[in-house]
Structure formats: C-alpha cells, structure tokens
Structure 1
Amino acid sequence: MQLSKAILTSVKKDLAVSVPAEAQLELPEKVLQFGTGVLLRGLPDYFIDKANKQNIFNGRVVVVKSTNTGGADAFDTQDGLYTICVRGIEEGREVNEYIVNSAISRVLAARGQWEQILDVARSPELEVVISNTTEMGIVMSSDLVTDAPPASFPGKLLAVLYERFKTFNGAAERGLVIIPTELIIDNGRQLKEIIIRLAEQNGLESEFISWIHNANHFCSSLVDRIVPGKLAGNDLEQTREWLGYRDDLMIMSEVFRLWAIEAADPKVQQVLSFARVDSGVVIAPDIERFRELKLRLLNGTHTLSCGLAYLAGFETVKEAMANPAFEAFVARLSKDELATAVVSSQITYEEACKFADSVLERFKNPFLDHKWLSISFAYTSKMLTRDIPLIEDFYKEERKGPTAIALGFAAYLLFMKSRKEGDQYVGTANGKAYTLNDDKAGILSQKWAEHPETDKLVDAVLADTTLWNEDLTLVPGFAEAVKQQLRFLTGSGAQAALQNITKE
C-alpha cells in the first residue's frame, strides 16, 4: 500500500514509527516554503512536524516548486506525507528512527498555480517564509512584480510581500518572519537588500518599502544536517517491507541537526515556537559562533583528514573511522588542536570540544557513505578558507613534536602530487589512480616537478602567496613540522604515519 492519509491507522505503531494524529492533518497553513529539496524536508519541516506533534507550533507548510510537472506527483498522491529515516550515532548510542512527517499541506507549482500561491500570501494565518533555492537563488533580477510568476526567487518573494501589503493595507502585524537557508553568509541581510532594490526597480510605493523594513523580519540562518535523500537498493526494499507501505518520498537524514537563526526581536521567538521542542533550533542575536564551529571543526577537520585517509587506503569516512588509529587521529586533530585554536571571546574550549565530539559521532555514522575523493573537491581553496587561519593561531605558541595538523597538511601535499593526462591531473595512491578536482592542481603538480626533494617542496608551497595570500614559512615551527611529517609519509606510508602520530 502507498503512504497516504487513508492508511495512517494501518501503520505499525508497535514498530515505533511516529505517526501524526488526525488533528495534525488539518492544521492551518502558517509557512510558505520555496523549495522541495531534501534539506528542507529533513530539517525545517522536521522541526515543524515535531512541534505539531507536541501541539506547540500548530501550523503546516505550503511548498512552492519552480517547475510544473503537470498532473499529480508523489506529494499529491501521498497527501504531502513522507517518511524520514533518522540514522546515526548520538551520545554514543546508535539511532534508527522512523517518522511520518505531516508538516507539508500541499505543493504548488509556481508556473500554473501562481494565483493559488498569491492566495496563500493573502491568508491571515501565514506567518513564516522559508527558502532553499541554492546560492544562485538569491540574486538580483529584472523581474516585474506583475509577472505571473516572476522568474527568480526574490522576484516571487517580492510579489508575495506586495500582495500581502495590499491585502492588509500595510498592517504592521501582518508582516512575516523570512528565513533563507541558502549557504550564503548573512543570507537574510542579502535577501532583504535584493528585495528592497527590486521594489525600487519596480517603482513600488515608499509605504510598501517602509513596511518591508519595519513589519518583516529577515533572519540570516545557518543549517547543518546531512540529508542524503532516498534510500538505495536493498536498503530501500528492506525498509519498505519493514514499514509495510510504499513511500516514494522517503528520505534519510543523520541524527545531528542544527538550524541557527539570527534574530533579537522577541516576536521572532514567539512566531518560531517550534524552536522550543528541539535543541537543534537556536535563535540568537548573533549566530557567527555556530558558523565558526561548523567551518573550523566540521569542515576544517574533513579537509585536514581527507588526503591522509585516502592515502591510507580508506574510500569512505565511515571506513576510516572504523580504524582505531584514524579515529584517534581525528580526535586529536579536532579536540586537542583545532578546538584550542577556535577558542575566542564567543567560543569556550568546552563548547568547542562538545561540538568536536558531535563531529566524531557524525564521522562514525555507519549509515552514510561519504567518499573522501568527494571531500577533496577544491582541496586547496578549502584548506585556505577553513584551516589556514587556525593553523596560524595554533602555531602562535611554540609547538614541539609532531602535530596532527602538520600531518594532515603533509598528506594534502602528497595527495596533490600528480601528473598531467590530457586536461586532467592524476595522482596515484595504493596502486590506484585518482583525478584531482582542484583548480590549483597544476600549480602543485609543477611544484613537485621542480622540487622532488620533500623539504624544498614544503618551502616552495608554503611560501607561495598566490596559494595562501601570505608566506606560511613565516608561521613559527609550521614548515619544519610539515617537513618532518612529509618525510615520514613518503618513507613509511600513511598507515605508519597514523600509528606514529597517535602514539605521541
């Protein structure tokens, strides 16, 4: 049988599947969401559904999709219901949860159902707008507010806001809380600036522009949750058999969840009442510390680990974390070294270590197949933005003996050793060739060709200001530490280097 409202009473509740009550299927539409992607369904819609089941937020989501598929799709067939399989490790225990999510009331296509979307804009029950339209979605355009529909997401949002302004005669209490989740720093501020410019470009009245400023809350936000999407192959078939129904919208997500929303106005706290049901939703006047923790301790650890992991023969993150020496390396790298460097007036060492612990659990998730080669994409630029600032802070104090940071950087250098084959740069590890997806691969390949002796290679790369915007040989002790680790890597191999560093 197919998941729908009609079969909810037949779902095996004894299997600990969370199923919505009938009343939750009739809640008012409080949220307009631009985007049908798995990240939105696995994070904001997850929180909203959780709150609804506790009778707190009591509102559902109207989803806007940019294309019109024509005819009924899975959302229509399944009455907006879908299953989230939450899998991973949390506080040392394995989590395997199944949730029938009823947050979505309906899905409307911008092309073909634009008037229905404007009807939502006219609704007094609407309170929140959420978006995830990729980084290219928040861009300036030449859209007209009268287009049906405007082409860009900001154009559509402007039309929604203008319709609401006209419907309620500019009433301040009818403003909305608008939360973009696109991966852009200050995404709320940037979206608001574009909306204002578009309104001026359309020649809309100054009263409307004042209403945008004064009645609406554009909140920058940061999202962090791995939502791979559909289950694959045998896993999908086994899960369907276990659940007892077919779900064409079923998705999987990791346990970790974070939605940090930047807002100081108490009204935002009041409107976003779903934040009360899960510590993964954080509403704060400044969310920079959450961005810093994610960038340095999650992304930065990934970057300083991926070359070493691949050279050691590990294809995926979970495979590497099953190796005790590699797990010990990641723990030392994230907690003993990067966490000390990320401490600031906003972040304590204890808070950094707590986040690093969550990173270790995420890395160990047995349900995710995150490939190291995928993580190595744009390796050099990631190293520059995520890790170089921490490396400088870490080495400000005189460091003696080998460090995990130095080993991670040395492994990056060895991983980037390559030869040119056609338009590609190809490296070799453990008898297997791999292609470098890095716009600086040519520079690193040339450095290796010019400096086959490892110590000279390290100096040449670290001193290249075109790579790092500064001369890293001036960072006290760093060059010597990298040289030591690169000599060990080339002489004894990555597995031996792992064993060596974790003995220290």
Structure 2
Amino acid sequence: MNYLFREKLRQLRNHPGVTVPEDSVFQLPEKVLQFGTGAFLRGLADFYIDKANRQGVFNGRIVVVKSTDKGDLKAFERQNNLYTLCTRGIIGGRVEEENIISSAISRVINAKSQWSLVLDLARNPAIGMIISNTTETGIQLVQDDIYQWPPVSFPGKLLAFLYARYVAFSGAADAGVVIIPTELIPENGKKLEAIVLELAHRNGLEAAFIDWIEQHNQFCNSLVDRIVPGKPEESVHKELEEELGYKDELLITAEPYHLWAIEGGDEIRAKIPFYGIDKGLVIEPDIELYRELKLRLLNGAHTLGSGLAYLCGFSTVVEAMSNPSFATFISNLMLTEIARAIPYPVPDGLAAEFSRQVLERFKNPHIQHQWLNISQNYSAKIQSRVASTFLNYEKQQAHFPEYATFGYAAYIYYMKPARKDGDKYYGLANGDYYLIQDEKAAFFYQKWQMSSMEETVKAILKDVTIWGKDLSKEESLVTGIAGHLLSLKQNGAMETLEMFLAETEYA
C-alpha cells in the first residue's frame, strides 16, 4: 500500500468514499500564515479553508510554522502536505461519516532552522490572515528579542513577522493582516495584541510601527469547538487506511460538530473571504455566549473528568462514558453545577440543551479521545476553564459544588508525583507510570512531601494562580478534598467514585 501523495490523487478520484482535491488547488497562492502543525488546527480552521477552496471561494493555501521540538516534518514532506480528515459521529441520532483529503496546506516551515523563510513571507502581499493554536500557555508575555533567530515565544515570532512586513511595505495601510488566535483563553485576540504591543515597546521599535499595528491590523477574539483527537490508535488507523486504500501518517479523526466563532462585524467579514461557506463559521460582534457555553460545559467537564477517568483506568472519553458511574458523574456535574454557575447571562434552557449535545458528543464511539492528552497543561486548564464557575457556584449557592470539589480532589491526586526523573515527574495509576505534563508538576511534588493530608491540601489550595483565590482557609472545602484524597489513596478511584455517587444521591 502506497503513501498518500499528490501523484496518487488521480487514482483516488473514483473512490466513492473519499473527497479528493482537484489538481488546480496546487496552483493557488499562499494567503494564510499558521502557527501550529497540530491536529486541532488541521481539523478545524484548515477544514474551513479547504472547504472554501473546494467551493472556489477562498482560493488560497496555508503556510504552517512549526515552533516546537516535538515531531518532525518528514510526513508532511513525503505526503506533499496532504492529509485525510476522517469525520465520524452521531448528530441527533443520525450517523455521519466523511473522508476528506485536505490540500489546504502548501508547505510547513521549521521555525528554528528556517526562520528566514517565515520572514520572507512577510513580503508576500497575498498573506492576509494569521491563525494560531499554541495551547493555553502560548499566549504569555515573556522577555523576547525579535532579532533572535527565531524569537523564543509565539508573540515574539508574530511581532518579528509584523515588523518585517511593516518594513517591506513601508507601513502601507493595506499591508495589515487579520490575526485570529484559537487558543482557548478568554479574549485571546485582545490578550495577544496587548502582549505584541508590550513587546514592541520593550524592543524599542518605532512609534510609527506601533501605530501601524494598532490602526491597520485586526486581532480578533475567537472561539473554536470541535473534538479532534488527532491520529487514531494503531488498530483504528490501519482499518481506516485499508478502507481508504493508502497509507497516511498525518490522518486525523474528528467529530461532525464544528464551530469557529470569530468576534467582528462587517469589516472582518469582508476580510475573511470564506465567511458564509459553512454555518459553523460564525462572525458576530459578541461571541461571549458561544465561548462560555463551550469553555465551561465541554472543556470544563473534560478537565474535571480527565484525572478521575485516568485514575479509574479509562484511556479514552468514550470508554469512560460507557461506564454508568462515570457517565452519571459527568452528567450531574454539567447539569446540576456547571450549567447553573456559568459567569455570563445564558438564556433559559440553553445551557441544559448544550449539555445534552455535549454528552452525545462525549459518547461518540468513533472518537478515541485520550484522557492523557486532555490532562496536558492540567493546572492551566483548571484556572481558565473551571475556577470562575466553581467560585460563582459558591457565591450563588453559599456552599461549594460537590461534583466539582470531587473533580478538584481527583486533579490533586492525579498531580501527585510518584517518581522524579531529572526535571520530569511521573504519577502512578493502576500499576503504570504516566508523565505529568504540567508546568506545576514541581510545585505538586513539593507540596505532596508534607506530613499530613490536610496540610498538603491547604498548601495546594493557597495557590491563587490555579484556583482564582486563596481557598486554604475554606475549612469545609479543605476537609472535603482531604477526605476524597484519603479515599482515593485507600480505596482507589473507581470505588471512591461509586461511594461518592451513593452519598450524594442519598443526601
């Protein structure tokens, strides 16, 4: 079986189960710069651009910048940057399946070894949009030098590109671009803009350039919603390749549901030529409702469930949701706690309806979404997705939410390192070690050395950067979490969960 590559497309055009790009797409100009090679952008933003090209609407391709050390570019090179997006799932009880060979990406550049090629793109007048997904930790202000090769941070790289573009076009107004970060943090566009402007000042760049950024470039807040687990497990991957008739190292799976909400009005709609090609692409002046529903209910439930599910022995979301106890926990968490405490006005019934849609999506048998992947950057996700809802519930109800408190306990226990290897920390669950991929791993390693469980809990709950406030003086919360932790230690996660559900139902 051969790999997917450009010359094979003609043979595949008669394949009834695959959407294959036309040869003409390879002649389209490069119009988009993308920071991030990950499955999520390829399964959502690039999906829309590929769809627009197939409809003859956008007629432009994407240059992707790889900034991390993880992985290499050999698969992209071997496959002429082609990859298959396999959509599988159920919407409203209806089965949906689709296989699309995406030709949205024209090339992938390694920032560390090919930074000059990124800066060369700044001189391309056709580039009108920049998109990114660098995880929650990517949009942060760090000291950076735009003359480094390359700058360290994503905002630093973006600033270096914008400055090169400003110089190349002598500050022309029409050389500005639309910048749409998709990182899942509140007001991602505004935050990115503020960091870029701060870095411009710190790098001593001229006032005229800073004015050009503010006046002729648009940083748009955006919200993305699609479960894109990425490359499926080996057995499923092989089955899909047999069905398709070719090998594809870049193949990714996704659910049918997709939403990309971009904040903006008519000016932004005019600058995004593929607006209107899909009802899932929304451009509105206020996208906060979309963001809150998705961030709190889908991502919040994912986050609060991830440590618990893995400790219970479940590898994937669908495996966990097939267990009645875990499914009850997630359902009650969403419907009785999160939906009631979203810190934004939500029309009556909408949160409950969205919750039911999310539960259907979680039970999608075709999506093998790994809990270990969901638990990456766990602490940052607790802070951005859960903390404000947790505090808002306590403010409204005058007591802390029981299910979320249990989720907090599972998070703390998941973050307990059982082994340290250099600067890496490993937890232990069901006899196997797992890497704790979290910037707070060293913090938890230190706190878990304390002599008593209550002392440990207080020390951890004191960290405002995780919880949004110092919770160490909340005696009922400290006692509740310490009790759950002792049970997790003595009885294991599954038995502790079942006891918790029995107690809350009885209460």
Mark yes or no: TM-score above 0.5.
yes
Is 1:120 matched with 2:116?
no
| Contact kept? 1:64, 1:110, Cα under 8 Å | yes
In structure 2, the CA distance between the partners of 1:94 and 1:408, relative to structure 1 (3 Å rule), is farther
3-state SS, counterpart of residue 405 of structure 2: helix
CA distance in 1, matches of 2:268, 2:43: 22
CA distance in 1, matches of 2:450, 2:365: 39
CA distance in 2, matches of 1:48, 1:73: 23
The alpha-carbon deviation at position 45 of structure 1 amounts to: 0.9
| Contact kept? 1:447, 1:461, Cα under 8 Å | no
| Contact kept? 1:463, 1:472, Cα under 8 Å | no
Indicate the residue corresponding to 1:285 in structure 2.
285
Indicate the residue corresponding to 1:247 in structure 2.
248
| Contact kept? 2:185, 2:384, Cα under 8 Å | no
In structure 2, the CA distance between the partners of 1:412 and 1:39, relative to structure 1 (3 Å rule), is closer
Bigger shift: 418-427 or 251-260? Answer: 418-427
Indicate the residue corresponding to 1:302 in structure 2.
302
Q: Which amino acid aligns with 1:223?
A: V
Q: Which amino acid aligns with 1:494?
A: L
Q: Which amino acid aligns with 1:298?
A: L
Bigger shift: 177-186 or 43-52? Answer: 177-186
Indicate the residue corresponding to 1:142 in structure 2.
145
Is 1:406 matched with 2:395?
no
TM-score normalised per structure 2 = 0.77
Indicate the residue corresponding to 1:188 in structure 2.
189
Q: Superposed, which structure 2 residues align to 1:329-344 within 5 Å?
A: 329-342=329-342, 344=344
Q: Which amino acid aligns with 1:39?
A: F
CA distance in 2, matches of 1:479, 1:148: 48
Gaps of 5+ in 2: none
| Contact kept? 2:229, 2:252, Cα under 8 Å | yes
The alpha-carbon deviation at position 114 of structure 1 amounts to: 5.0
Is 1:495 matched with 2:491?
no
Identity rate, percent:
42
3-state SS, counterpart of residue 349 of structure 2: helix
Deviations 1:56-112 (A, max 9, x none): 22211122335899x994334333221112233333334332110011122344466
The alpha-carbon deviation at position 130 of structure 1 amounts to: 1.8
Indicate the residue corresponding to 2:230 in structure 1.
229
CA distance in 1, matches of 2:289, 2:236: 37
Bigger shift: 133-142 or 207-216? Answer: 133-142
In structure 2, the CA distance between the partners of 1:353 and 1:275, relative to structure 1 (3 Å rule), is farther
| Contact kept? 2:472, 2:478, Cα under 8 Å | no
Q: Superposed, which structure 2 residues align to 1:156-195 within 5 Å?
A: 156-195=157-196
Indicate the residue corresponding to 1:31 in structure 2.
32
3-state SS, counterpart of residue 275 of structure 2: helix
CA distance in 2, matches of 1:435, 1:244: 35
The alpha-carbon deviation at position 224 of structure 1 amounts to: 3.8
CA distance in 2, matches of 1:93, 1:216: 42
In structure 2, the CA distance between the partners of 1:341 and 1:148, relative to structure 1 (3 Å rule), is closer
CA distance in 1, matches of 2:373, 2:453: 26
Indicate the residue corresponding to 1:267 in structure 2.
267
Deviations 1:384-422 (A, max 9, x none): 66445434544566699xx9x424534754886799967
3-state SS, counterpart of residue 33 of structure 1: strand
| Contact kept? 1:47, 1:275, Cα under 8 Å | no
CA distance in 1, matches of 2:504, 2:327: 12
| Contact kept? 2:390, 2:404, Cα under 8 Å | no
CA distance in 2, matches of 1:188, 1:41: 20
- Paired residue total: 485
Is 1:2 matched with 2:23?
no
In structure 2, the CA distance between the partners of 1:238 and 1:311, relative to structure 1 (3 Å rule), is closer
Is 1:358 matched with 2:341?
no
Q: Which amino acid aligns with 1:495?
A: E
Q: Which amino acid aligns with 2:352?
A: C
Q: Which amino acid aligns with 1:216?
A: N
Gaps of 5+ in 1: 452-456
CA distance in 1, matches of 2:68, 2:343: 45
3-state SS, counterpart of residue 250 of structure 2: coil
CA distance in 2, matches of 1:151, 1:436: 25
3-state SS, counterpart of residue 338 of structure 2: helix
| Contact kept? 2:417, 2:445, Cα under 8 Å | no
CA distance in 2, matches of 1:414, 1:148: 42
In structure 2, the CA distance between the partners of 1:341 and 1:203, relative to structure 1 (3 Å rule), is closer
| Contact kept? 1:46, 1:101, Cα under 8 Å | yes
Deviations 1:402-456 (A, max 9, x none): x9x4245347548867999676898888xx68889664577689696569xxxxx
Deviations 1:235-284 (A, max 9, x none): 222222221122232222333433332334x2211122323223333323
CA distance in 2, matches of 1:155, 1:484: 45
Indicate the residue corresponding to 1:58 in structure 2.
59
Q: Which amino acid aligns with 1:330?
A: I
Q: Superposed, which structure 2 residues align to 1:291-440 within 5 Å?
A: 291-306=291-306, 309=309, 314-342=314-342, 344-345=344-345, 347-370=346-369, 386-387=385-386, 389-394=388-393, 405-407=401-403, 409-410=405-406, 413=409, 439-440=443-444
The alpha-carbon deviation at position 286 of structure 1 amounts to: 3.6
Larger Rg: 1
Indicate the residue corresponding to 1:132 in structure 2.
133
The alpha-carbon deviation at position 488 of structure 1 amounts to: 11
| Contact kept? 1:83, 1:249, Cα under 8 Å | yes
| Contact kept? 1:309, 1:320, Cα under 8 Å | yes
| Contact kept? 2:308, 2:407, Cα under 8 Å | yes
Bigger shift: 204-213 or 491-500? Answer: 491-500
CA distance in 2, matches of 1:214, 1:380: 36
In structure 2, the CA distance between the partners of 1:111 and 1:390, relative to structure 1 (3 Å rule), is closer
| Contact kept? 1:127, 1:175, Cα under 8 Å | yes
Q: Which amino acid aligns with 2:245?
A: G
The alpha-carbon deviation at position 206 of structure 1 amounts to: 3.5
In structure 2, the CA distance between the partners of 1:496 and 1:313, relative to structure 1 (3 Å rule), is farther
| Contact kept? 2:484, 2:496, Cα under 8 Å | no
CA distance in 2, matches of 1:116, 1:388: 41
CA distance in 1, matches of 2:383, 2:28: 48
Q: Which amino acid aligns with 2:222?
A: S
